[in-house]
Amino acid sequence: MSKKMWGGRFSQETDKKVDLFNASIDFDKKLYRQDIAGSKAHAMMLCKKHIISKEERDAIVNGLDEILAQIENGKFKFKISHEDIHMNIEAALTKKIGDAGKKLHTARSRNDQVALDMRLYLRDEIDTILELMQKLLSSLTVIAEDNIDLIMPGYTHLQRAQPIRFSHHAMAYFQMFKRDVMRLIDCRERVNVLPLGSGALAGTTFNIDRDYVAKQLGFSRVSANSLDSVSDRDFVIEFLSASSMIMLHLSRFCEEIIIWNSAEFSFVEISDAYTTGSSIMPQKKNPDIAELIRGKTGRVYGNLMNILTTMKALPLAYNKDMQEDKEPLFDTVDTIKASVDLFTSMLNEMKLNEGYMEESAFGSFTTATDLADYLAAKGIPFRESHKITGKIVKFCLENGYDLMTLPIEKYQKFSK
């Protein structure tokens, strides 16, 4: 006879290798707070609906609080034999309070329980990431305001194109990150749906109160279809997609900072606190944090592709494949938080080299478009003014002038 909590119909124990391969406790123990919060709300509802007694409810809630304290004090021993966070906590609760602990799982399944835990976890983490993103937006605003008159070259094809304000360049990234914030807010709305009460797939025969549980846990609404509730990981995919966009934008900005920090540009200097040295070249000061954020972008993209591939052909409802959703999600959350936080700190301490920026802004004929526009404003068709300006630039290159030093009489040889 199997000793598993679900082992009533099994005549032998699972192979030890199966236990190791099947267990998720090594990573889903991260969900202990959410699992306990969900179980407490579920117990309160079971009592409200007279499915368990007040005494059983109190024993469950107090027992769960004690387990929470044990976990946070590092005194709780997680067991692979109990497979996951849900059964580890339930087994410990039953051992602590007896038969009342066995009643906690009434009217629910691990399928809707894990969906609940994931939504609670992701909702909290989105709130944390939104706070970090707001700090980044604030930093960009301050840097732009403090350097409102700083001129730099704008680029296309990484070639100097036209002079622009540094503040304008910085606020381009503000717009990108602002869209990221909007995506996270939209994602959070779809995360904030209660799946508990869906059972394994077909709901429950018990007269439960899902709206009560939703209110206890701060959900805005309850899910509409039990099959969808337990098999849905769209909210994870949507978050990973939004995270990929954040990393995309961070990576683009990091790339520019890495270029600007090079001796060839010298537009900025990254603080010593966010660079590292070389083990062989004493003079080196490497932009490792910016490079790492750029590199970790591929990691987050991979996590998104991981879940998309896992979910692409799964029939309804729950399948064990879906256990593979947690590690990519947890890794992405940790990567996003660290990347946004470090990038903001690096940005705040970055020194701008105004002289190099402004000198570069007026080199390489960056005001040529203004000259063409000037001629067009005098009534010359733009295509003709473009051609005239091109000839002027060619003359300057061949004769050692630039548009700032070319005498007016030489300009007038090309156009009166």
Q: Would you say 84 and 28 are in contact if contact means Cβ atoms under 8 Å apart?
A: yes
Question: What are φ and ψ of residue 391, in 5° steps?
Answer: -65, -40
What letters, b where the CB count within 10 A reaches 16 and e where it falls short, cover 352-382? beeeebbebbbeebbbbeebbeebbeeebee
* Residue for token pair 């090594």: 26
Rg for the chain, CA atoms, rounded: 30
Could you say which of 11, 50, 157, 279 is catalytic?
A: 157
278 is catalytic: yes
Give me the long-range contacts of 412-416 (CB less than 8 A, separation at least 24): 414/388, 415/375, 415/380, 415/385, 415/388
Contacting residues for 126 by C-beta, under 8 A, at least 6 apart: 184, 187, 188, 191, 239
Helix (H) or strand (E) holding 251: helix 234-261
Q: Which residues does residue 286 pair with via DSSP β-bridges, in sequence order?
A: 276
The type of residue at 109 is: S
Cα separation, 404 vs 362, in Å, equals: 8
And the tokens for 24?
Answer: 């998720």
Could you say which of 53, 138, 262, 278 is catalytic?
A: 278
Contacting residues for 224 by C-beta, under 8 A, at least 6 apart: none
Around 221, how many Cα atoms within 13 Å sit in the side-chain half-sphere? 8
The set of catalytic residues is 157, 278
